[in-house]
Chain A
Amino acid sequence: MPALNRKLWRDLWHLRGQVIAIILVVACGVASYVALQNIYRSLIVTQKTYYAEYRFADVFAPLKRAPERLTARINEIDGVATAQTRIVANVTLDIPGLGEPATGQLVSIPEIRTPILNDLHLLRGRYIEAGHRNEVILSSGFSEKNNLHPGDTISAIINGRWTKLSIVGIALSPEFVYEIRPGDMFPDARRFGVMWMNREALGTAFNLDGAFNNVVLSFAPNANEAHIIERLDTLLTEYGGLGAYGREDQTSNHFVSNEIAELKVTSTMIPAIFLSVTAFLIHLVLSRLVSTQREQIAVLKAFGYTNLNIGVHYLKLALAAVTGGVILGTFVGWYFGYSMTALYAEFFRFPVLRYEMNPWVLATAVVISLSAASIGAIRAVQKAVALPPAESMRPEPPARYHASLIERVGLRKLFSLATRIIIRNLERNPVKATLTMLGIAMATSLLIVGFYFYDAIDQIIEIQFHQKFRHDISVVFNEPRPSRVRYDLANLPGVLRVEPYRAVPVRLRFEHHSRRTAIIGLEPTGELHRLVDSKMRVFTLPPEGLVLTTELAKRLSVKAGDTITLEVLEGKREIKQVLVAELIDELLGLGAYMDVKALNRLLNEAGTVSSAYLMVDANATDQLYKKLKSTPTVSGVWIPSVWLQSFNETIARTMGTSTSVIIFFACVIAFGMIYNGARIALSERGRELASLRVLGFSLNEITVMLLGEQAILTGVAIPLGYGMGYGICFLITKAIDTELMRLPLIVSNKTFALGFLIVCGAALLSGMLIRWRLRNLDLIEVLKTRE
């Protein structure tokens, strides 16, 4: 091995602390890039091929009831390739071992297996058999969570009667990659599942013989979605059409595509942060190295090493450290991506979701890491190349110091000699001081951001489940009822308080925007569902007019005071104009609210309700559930505590995982930054400090002189990092703005304190390492030679 390369390895070994810091930071960047990019790519490909192979429909249209012969007219719409009609119905299920009723969505399939839109991927068992009317195929998530297998039976209330359905197969469908109960926000495979069933059997059970209540269609090439939806809506109006929608509004697809879009952002953002930190660290370390080795560089040049040799030598040093990080990061990323894919496979049910190492992703990771290293190295390498050999043979002139600004304004007497040394050092090299400080601030801000996610989730839970939803269960009726139903409910076992409400499916239109949602009509004095905004303020419903969540208003481009068009998607399907009275800044969902009396007036109905919130005696829930299961007029039961549980299992869990990763990364960066800063200061001033030791200064005194500088920088960096962190959190609340959820901008004192503690901990740890080095300073060596 050439001697110059041997120097390279020994330098790397000598700088191992800093090299390890760089390796870790690079590894974090590469690992996150490799993992997230690979998942992103495999999700995109998987989604696309799955949709294509299993003919995921392009438009979905629910309706009340239309005769089968309408199919021909739908097929005639310009741009429609195939239209398929079906029956979709929600039923109450009795799941063994589950107290409360569950919901099943029955979807009809042809008796004889033929290729259909949203075709099934049979995992186990078989397709339904002709003539066997009670056979169903179960969705796989539901079957897993409830331990139901082909051969088992399941009870459902169909047409007012308990019916036993026998499970013959387990399947997946592109329509339910993300399987979630309509109106829910989080999946709960224990309490909601899809079942595919014989079309004829469903037709008979739901009085839809020779008719359908749902149609899906696929596009011919060059189809115009908006046009088709409009035509379809017109066609279905007289059959109680509930509004057709495209893939974008299809629940499962919406969630999956949203997740993919988010992955795309995070898979570039997180690695970008790490790689800029890498460039920054390499810049610090290498610049320092070149100045400590200026005489070595001069000797090499004196003996005829070319500028190219020397430039390449230092560049190699940077690249070697980064290569170590790339290798480590690739393995960690592979593993990390592998486990994340398993997590995704739990939420997103694809026939196969394979985690593959895309060679392009790997190549890109290598190229961008090495580029980051080169960018970081360039200044130092230039410096090494430009070093005039003759001049660098001379001892480096003593650095120019001057009385610092603070001393010049007359405060000199306030400072001890040690403090003056610290302050002059800071003032002498303001650029470096600033860079180091920014680095520490950046690490602090990352920590704040990491812990912020926990704050946000806590706040959402607090608002949603403690302040807003204060009922134990809510029941949904199979059709609107008169308001005296509250007395019937009050007589059910264990019910302590009843607050009925009216939920109406509507389509809101304003100018060219439109949105399907439900208006919830609440009693303004209600206690079981309060309106609480993101700042935890309780909101009072105005007696007239609509209240929209700010998110919904944004999507419709309306402001308070505007009048919007409201299409009722049930009953007489009236079209009304209604004033948007106020906006409420809610965190979850796209809700719309109204005083129940105003809503009844708007719909010309007298005290009609569709659901009710109940407060229940905890000891009587079993009895109550049993009763509800056998009440055909109750079509669904929602339980906030179950919501909370599935929120914790889904959003909180995935977010928690990525948050702990971010926090780990931030700790790595914090330590890397601070340790490097101190280590570099030591190498710059080792001789000076050793000389001071020779002059009789104690170890403590020189430690203070060296680390005091770092302490001041850290002290300034932390508040700055707080500010930056808060700013980033603000940007995140703007960026994470899905229909599902927004994050509240709340950073708790605990988060600030943790950020402080971790950064100070990193500072302390590196201080201890540095002090250990100071203790071992070789005083004799210092006196013997010039550095």
Chain B
Amino acid sequence: MQTATSKETDKEAVFRARGLSKVYRMGEVEVFALRAVDLELYQGEFVVFLGPSGSGKSTLLNILGGLDAPTSGEVVFRDHNLTQANDRELTRFRREHVGFVFQFYNLIPSLTALENVQLVTEISEHPMAAEEALRLVSLGERMHHFPAQLSGGEQQRVAIARAIAKRPDVLLCDEPTGALDFSTGKLVLEVLERVNRELGTTTAVITHNAAIAAMADRVIRVGSGQIVEVHRNTTKAKPDELVW
């Protein structure tokens, strides 16, 4: 078994997880979603989590993002210990530091693209202008459209704009291209790559699509609730070079 803990010290660790386990009890049966995972994510890096469906990727990401608590183990974000935090502190942690992107975009259907982004900028300390965030994802023209008027890829880019608008320290994306076709998916990945490069936001992307791994700094393979392999790309591929 490998761990995702690196000996490199040139980069500061943003997340440090030790012995993370998550057990779901379903009546008699216990489902081990995570088994004693150790992991670090570093400042500014682009990490891809790769693994089959049901391997525990979402569970891991949700715990890192303070959406969920582990059954045992510890997560530290910089100097905040997330595992000891209560609900209020977790809410504040999410509000101040994390941007989420989900597979099904999860936009508020009753709000326009711009308003969906404003929903987040309004409660952040140092956000960028919502319009700027939308321009970053090349949706400057579609700001006043409602989610129902946007294609899946456009909706996902709104979701990204929403996630980055508050200038989060980390961007956590759970299968952001999972519901998209090849070329639209690529468009979304380009946006993520650009945000990572231009804003230096630490980015973690979940996928079960191995091709996407080529654009990462590091690739972490997950299987049956464990980290089975950590791989560092020596050269990062550009999103438009990817094929699947």
A residues apposed to B, CB below 8 Å: 2-4, 6-7, 10-11, 14, 295-296, 298-307, 388-391, 393-394, 781, 784-786
The residues of A that contact B104 with a CB separation of less than 8 Å are 295, 785-786
In the complex, besides A6-B110, A393-B174, 4 extra interface pairs with C-beta distance below 8 angstroms are A302-B98, A303-B162, A390-B62, A394-B58
Main secondary structure of the interface of A (DSSP, over half): helix
Residues of A contacting B98 in the complex (Cβ-Cβ under 8 angstroms)? 302, 304
Partner of A296, one of B87, B108, B120: B108
Query: B interface vs A, CB < 8 Å?
Result: 58-59, 62, 65, 67-68, 87-88, 91-92, 94-96, 98-100, 102, 104-106, 108-111, 115-116, 118-120, 122-124, 148, 152, 162, 166, 174, 179
Pair B148/A304 contact, Cβ less than 8 Å:
no
| Central interface residue in B67, B105, B116, B166, by most chain A CB within 10 Å | B67
Q: Are B106 and A295 in contact (CB under 8 A)?
A: yes
Q: Tell me which of B59, B91, B98 has the highest count of chain A C-beta atoms within 10 A of its own C-beta.
A: B91
| Whole-angstrom CA separation of A71 from B99 in the bound complex | 96
Give the distance to chain A from B144, nearest Cβ to Cβ, in Å. 12
Contact at A307–B108, with CB atoms within 8 Å?
A: no
Q: Are A3 and B115 in contact (CB under 8 A)?
A: yes
Asked if A299 contacts B174 (CB within 8 A), the reply is no
Given contacts A390-B68, A785-B104, contact A14 B110 (CB under 8 A): yes
A-B contact pairs, 11 of them (CB 8 A): A299-B100, A299-B102, A301-B67, A302-B100, A303-B119, A304-B92, A307-B91, A781-B148, A785-B104, A785-B152, A786-B104
Q: How far is the CA of A298 from the CA of B102 in the complex (A)?
A: 11
Instruction: Please measure, in the bound complex, the distance between the C-alpha atom of A295 and the C-alpha atom of B100, giving whole angstroms.
Output: 13
B118 touches A3 (CB 8 A): yes
- Name the distance in Å between B23's Cβ and chain A's nearest Cβ: 14
Chain A residues near B122: list those with CB within 8 A. 2-4
Given contacts A299-B102, A304-B96, A3 and B68 within 8 Å (CB-CB): no
B106 contacts A296, C-beta separation under 8 Å: yes
Task: Provide the bound-state CA to CA distance between A296 and B147, in Å.
Answer: 13
* A301 CA to B166 CA, complexed, in Å: 15
Asked if A7 and B174 sit within 8 Å, CB to CB, the answer is: no
Given contacts A304-B94, A393-B174, contact A11 B110 (CB under 8 A): yes
Query: Which B residues lie within 8 Å of A4 (CB)?
Result: 119, 122
Contacts of B94 in A (CB 8 A): 301-304
Across the A-B interface, give the 5 residue pairs with the lowest CB-CB distance, nearest first: A304-B95, A390-B68, A10-B110, A3-B119, A390-B62
Which residues of the other chain, A, contact B87 by a CB distance below 8 angstroms? 307
Instruction: Give the residues in chain A near B116, CB-CB below 8 Å.
Output: 3
Q: How far is the CB of A14 from chain B (nearest CB, A)?
A: 6
- Set of chain B residues within 8 Å of A303, measured between Cβ atoms: 94-95, 99-100, 119-120, 123, 162, 166
- Considering the chains assembled together, what is the distance between the CA atoms of A785 and B179 in angstroms? 8
* Distance A302 CA – B171 CA, assembled complex (angstroms): 12
Q: Are A299 and B123 in contact (CB under 8 A)?
A: no
Identity of the chain B residue whose Cβ is nearest the Cβ of A6 in the assembled complex: B115
In the complex, chain B residues whose CB is within 8 Å of the CB of A11: 110
- Distance between A431 CB and nearest chain B CB, rounded to angstroms: 23
Residue ID in chain B nearest A2 by CB atoms:
B122
Name which of A10, A301, A393 has the most chain B CB atoms within 10 A of its CB.
Answer: A393
- Partner of B65 from the list A7, A302, A784 (CB cut-off 8 Å) is A302
For A11, A296, A298, the residue with the greatest tally of chain B CB atoms inside 10 Å of its CB is A296
**Cα–Cα distance between A11 and B111 once the two chains are bound (Å):** 10
Smallest beta-carbon distance A683→chain B, Å: 13
Q: Provided the pairs A3-B115, A388-B68 are in contact, do residues A304 and B108 lie with their beta carbons within 8 angstroms?
A: no
Chain A neighbourhood of B111, CB < 8 A: 3, 6-7, 10
**Of all chain B residues, which has the CB nearest A306?**
B91
Query: Which one of B58, B68, B95, B106 has the greatest number of beta carbons of chain A within 10 Å?
Result: B106
Contact B102 A393 (CB under 8 A): yes
What residues on A are CB-neighbors of B106 within 8 Å? 295-296, 298-299, 393
Query: Is A301 a contact partner of B91 (Cβ separation < 8 A)?
Result: yes
CA distance A696 to B123 in the complex (A): 46
CA distance A301 to B91 in the complex (A): 7
| Residues of chain B contacted by A301 (CB below 8 angstroms) | 67, 91, 94
On chain A, the residues within 8 Å of B152 by CB distance are 784-785
Known: A393-B102, A785-B104. A7 touches B95 (CB 8 A): no
- Taking a contact as CB atoms under 8 Å apart, the answer to whether A305 and B123 are in contact is yes
Of A6, A295, A304, the residue contacting B91 (CB under 8 A) is: A304
Q: When chains A and B are docked, how far (Å) is the Cα of A299 from the Cα of B163?
A: 11
A618–chain B nearest beta-carbon distance, Å: 72
Q: Which residue of A lies closest to B124 (CB)?
A: A304
Per the bound structure, the CA–CA distance linking A306 and B192 in Å amounts to 27
What residues on A are CB-neighbors of B100 within 8 Å? 299, 302-303
Closest beta carbon of chain A to B180's beta carbon, Å: 11
Give the residue name and chain of the B residue nearest to A304 (CB): B95
Interchain nearest-CB distance for B109 vs A (Å): 8
Residue of A nearest to B87 (CB): A307
CA–CA, A19 and B124, complex, Å:
32
Q: Give the distance in Å from the alpha carbon of A305 to the alpha carbon of B118 in the complex.
A: 13
B110 x A393 contact (CB < 8 A): no
Distance (Å) between the CB of A314 and the closest chain B CB?
14
Query: Is A7 within 8 A of B110, CB to CB?
Result: yes
What separation, in Å, do the CA atoms of A11 and B95 have in the docked complex?
24
B163 to chain A: closest residue by CB: A303
**Shortest CB distance A206–B (Å):** 83
Contacts of B96 in A (CB 8 A): 304
B108 touches A7 (CB 8 A): yes
**Shortest beta-carbon distance from B86 to chain A in Å:** 12
Chain A residue at minimal CB-CB distance from B165: A303
Contact pick for A299, options B95, B108, B115, B124, CB 8 Å: B108
How far is it, in angstroms, between the C-alpha of A299 and the C-alpha of B108 when the chains are bound?
Answer: 9
Bound complex: CA of A393 vs CA of B106, how far in Å?
9
**A64: min CB distance to chain B, Å:** 83
Residue on A nearest B96 in the bound complex, by CB: A304
B108 contacts across to A, CB distance below 8 A:
7, 296, 299
Is B102 a contact of A304 with CB atoms below 8 Å? no
Q: A36 CA to B124 CA in the complex, in Å?
A: 50
Q: For the complex formed, measure the closest distance between the CB of B161 and the CB atoms of chain A, giving whole angstroms.
A: 12
Cross-chain contact B110 with A302 (CB below 8 angstroms): no
**Closest partner residue, chain A, to B120 (CB atom):** A303
Closest-by-CB residue of A relative to B179 is A785
